[in-house]
Amino acid sequence: MSIDKFVTLESSCVPLPIENVDTDQIIPARFLKATTREGFGDNLFCDWRYDKNGNPKPDFVLNNPVYSGQILVAGKNFGSGSSREHAAWAIHGYGFKAVVSSFFADIFKNNSLNNGILPVQVTDGFLAQVFDAINENPKVLVKVDLENQTISVPAKGISEKFDINPYKKKCLINGYDDIDYLISISENIKAWEAKAEK
Amino acid sequence: MAGKTLFDKIWEKHVVANVEGGPSVLYIDRHLIHEVTSPQAFGGLKARGIKVRRPDKTIATPDHNIPTMDQHLPIHDELSRFQVNKLKENCEENGVLMYGLNHPYNGIVHVIGPELGITQPGMTIVCGDSHTSTHGAFGSIAFGIGTSEVEMVLATQCLMQSRPKTMRINVEGALQKGVTSKDIVLYIISQISTGGGTGYFVEFAGSAIRSLSMEARMTICNMSIEMGARGGMIAPDEITFEYVKGREFAPKGEAWEKAVAEWRKLPSDADAKFDKELHFKAEDIEPMITYGTNPGMGIGISGKIPSLNEVEAASVNTFKKSLDYMGYQPGDAMVGKPVDYVFVGSCTNGRIEDLRAFAAFIKGKKKADNVTAWIVPGSKQVERQALAEGIKEILEAAGFELRQPGCSACLAMNDDKIPEGKYAVATSNRNFEGRQGPGARTMLASPLTAAAAAITGVISDPRTFLS
Ligand code: SF4
């Protein structure tokens, strides 16, 4: 198996200036009865996106045609709470390739990376500037360059470096997955077991 | 050379390899699985044409998605039934031990691990569920993982993990009457926020922690994820050994003596260095209650919801959205607010000690008429114990009923949903919007505070009932 490759991305953004967005909001528990990875995108942010009768709520950003793009920009502490990878599947399924925030919850970060979604952690100040830029022009392009680990808003002349684990970076650029790697070192694992279990 | 922390000692013992510039390959001693986060992982194994590498280190239980009434009948919800059956199929195909519905050992994964002695000091334990941190109470490295990682562990018994930083949270002193370990952890989260532990593995220490029972310690480690931590842990001691001894999977005879001797070496060395250290005083802690939509939005029960000028400017909008959802105003007192539902259960407070505390509190009193109460044991064993100890009768005499084990209204995947707009005092761990059902409003609290709400029908300070 492999994940989507990620090199650079230039796209308009969908802004979600709310803090502490937890995975229960990203995908509510009642959608977790599935046994495959497909189809979660339709229920991304379901309870914010649709009313009780399943009609789109006009004031939620995903229902606002002004905003579109492959980058989700969200408030601080995104993806907290439940470890459900379904949250990453929903974001991926909807078509996002990167999420920008000033803080990510640990498990969500891993889950994103394991699904080829790049979590871009920026400073609070830069995040505020990105929200401002989108406010001014909803079509403003944001550029994420994984090779150079930079995120920029070319139209505003602002850019910032972001951190990523070098191994994870390599995986994303090449579309590798951890399991392939671990299987490739199974001899080491066996040797470790033999030592530990004797 | 500086000494080692409890975390360092276990971690270093489990590193199989280090990837250059990247994470470590960590060996996993116990892998717990359940029906919700495993089917796609088994699907992945199939697609790769491989089987579970170490079924002997893997244990399964359905818990998230099961009814808590009439468990002897087939599950009526089609998707739930399919998912639970899928777990059974996958386990059978791979030779994995599963404690299915109605098995005497069935229950919430984080309740059965400890009570069966599957959880032991010094181990690495993972599960596709964030509250795996519960098992850290035994002095193990235990944390939640996503489904891709479940697949990774099924396939290789290893996990790629970056080493987290370490934090020690010290709680010293004696707790006031009516204050429980749930209040300790809600208090800490309210002080450091839901992101305060992100990037860290937390060791809880100090005299207030050491004096706690294993059940109470589990409650604290359980909610370490609610402060954003990768996991929580407590050094093993005599209380730990006493708890583990004699349990189904615990080492026996000579092996037991050997194990305990090893476990005694685990606690952090006196000169160990942590990346961060925090200190709290037990006597500062009141019974806690949450008023908002994340577990960090908690206050002492006699306190008031913060007013707008007490909230950081950047967070005002999020704060307002949260109070709107709850139907509360800034500056409101919590005591006296109406309650429609009381939920006692979950891997946070669904253990026998929690049911005992609740039952002792309500004994001889009556459930308030306006309250619907769901008392859900964390496992079959807890259920049996509650029957044996007469807890069921006490509950029934006061107008409560004991349901059957499962995650239940903690995440409301089954029928146990709090209706839209209703207020629930819950002993579980998350008060997110819609967590207990679309539109449900959750206040997190201890079993004692839940009991006080259940008999008065409003938010009440449990201390006023304790002489
Ligand atoms: S009781 Fe709640 S928190 Fe615990 S495992 Fe079940 S759903 Fe998760």
Asked whether residue B72 falls in the same domain as residue B170, the answer is no
Q: What ipTM was assigned to the predicted interfaces of this complex? A: 0.90
Q: Which two tokens stand for residue A101?
A: 């925030």
Q: Of B450, B424, B420, which Cα lies nearest the Cα of B434?
A: B420
Q: Taking a C-beta distance cutoff of 8 angstroms, is the pair B133, B142 a contact?
A: yes
Around Cβ A34, how many Cβ atoms within 10 Å? 18
Residues A66-81 have a mean pLDDT of: 96
Segments in chain B below pLDDT 50: none
Evaluate the CA torsion angle B232, B236, B239, B244 in order and state its sign. positive
Contact A77 B194 (CB under 8 A): yes
- Chain B residue with CA closest to A18: the answer is B318
Q: What is the pLDDT of residue B363?
A: 97
Number of A/B CB contacts below 8 angstroms equals 182
Q: Which of A2, A16, A24, A60 should one mutate to test binding to chain B, selecting the residue with the greatest count of B CBs within 10 A?
A: A24
Asked whether residue B420 falls in the same domain as residue B296, the answer is yes
Asked whether residue B301 falls in the same domain as residue B237, the answer is no
Q: Where are the alpha helices (DSSP H) in B275-379?
A: 316-326, 346-349, 352-362
Contacts of B251 (CB under 8 A, 6+ apart): B120, B258, B259
- Kindly indicate the confidence band of residue A5, based on its pLDDT and cuts at 50, 70 and 90: confident
Evaluate the CA torsion angle A88, A93, A97, A101 in order and state its sign. negative
Beta bridge partners of A22: A80
Per-residue pLDDT tens over the stretch A101-126: 999 998 999 999 999 999 999 999 99
**Within a domain: B317:** yes
Asked whether residue B58 falls in the same domain as residue B173, the answer is no
Contacts of A72 (CB under 8 A, 6+ apart): A13, A14, A16, A91, A96, A98, A99, A100
**Within a domain: B254:** no
Q: Which of B16, B78, B148, B161 should one mutate to test binding to chain A, selecting the residue with the greatest count of A CBs within 10 A?
A: B148
Contacts of B98 (CB under 8 A, 6+ apart): B59, B60, B61, B62, B87, B88, B91
**Within a domain: B1:** no
Decide which of B110, B131, B161 is a domain's last residue: B161
Structural domain harbouring B218: 165-249+259-284
Per-residue pLDDT tens over the stretch B219-271: 999 999 999 999 999 999 999 999 999 999 999 999 999 999 999 999 999 99
Q: Which two tokens stand for residue A157?
A: 């002349």
CB of A130 within 8 Å of a chain B CB? The answer is no
Q: Rounded CA gap, B393 and B400, in Å?
A: 9
Q: Taking a C-beta distance cutoff of 8 angstroms, is the pair B292, B319 a contact?
A: yes
Apex CA B3: angle with CA B200 and CA B256, to 5°?
A: 85
In one letter, which amino acid is B262? E
What's the total number of domains in chain B?
A: 3
Apex CA A83: angle with CA B352 and CA A102, to 5°?
A: 125
Place of tokens 């360092």: B8
Q: Which two tokens stand for residue A90?
A: 């929903």
Q: Rounded CA gap, B271 and B291, in Å?
A: 40
Asked whether residue B344 falls in the same domain as residue B433, the answer is yes
Asked whether residue B157 falls in the same domain as residue B171, the answer is no
Asked whether residue B145 falls in the same domain as residue B173, the answer is no
Contact A189 B157 (CB under 8 A): yes
Q: Taking a C-beta distance cutoff of 8 angstroms, is the pair B201, B231 a contact?
A: yes
Asked whether residue B300 falls in the same domain as residue B404, the answer is yes
Q: What is the pLDDT of residue A1?
A: 55
**Within a domain: B133:** yes
A25 pLDDT above the threshold of 60: yes
User: What is the reported pTM?
Assistant: 0.95
Q: Rounded CA gap, B375 and B354, in Å?
A: 10
CB of B156 within 8 Å of a chain A CB? The answer is yes
Asked whether residue B398 falls in the same domain as residue B411, the answer is yes
Apex CA B32: angle with CA B31 and CA B34, to 5°?
A: 140
**Within a domain: B388:** yes
Decide which of B237, B268, B284 is a domain's last residue: B284
CB of A111 within 8 Å of a chain B CB? The answer is yes
- Chain B positions touching A166 (Cβ under 8 A) are 21-22
Give the torsion through C-alpha atoms of B144, A173, B53, B137, to 10 deg: -20
Asked whether residue B232 falls in the same domain as residue B174, the answer is yes
In one letter, which amino acid is B352? I
Decide which of B161, B193, B219 is a domain's last residue: B161
Q: Which of B35, B413, B428 to mutate to test ligand 1, by most ligand atoms within 8 A of the CB atom?
A: B428
Asked whether residue B38 falls in the same domain as residue B60, the answer is yes
CB of B17 within 8 Å of a chain A CB? The answer is yes
Per-residue pLDDT tens over the stretch B377-434: 999 999 999 999 999 999 999 999 999 999 999 999 999 999 999 999 999 999 999 9
Q: What is the pLDDT of residue B274?
A: 98
Say if ligand 1 is within 6 A of residue B450 CB: no
Q: Of B242, B257, B60, B58, which Cα lies nearest the Cα of B138?
A: B242
**Within a domain: B147:** yes
Cα(B346) to centroid of ligand 1, in Å?
6
Angle of helix A86-94 relative to helix A106-113, nearest 10 degrees? 50
Cα(B425) to centroid of ligand 1, in Å?
16
Asked whether residue B242 falls in the same domain as residue B343, the answer is no
| B95: CATH | 3.30.499.10
Say if ligand 1 is within 6 A of residue B349 CB: no
Q: Rounded CA gap, B128 and B231, in Å?
A: 13
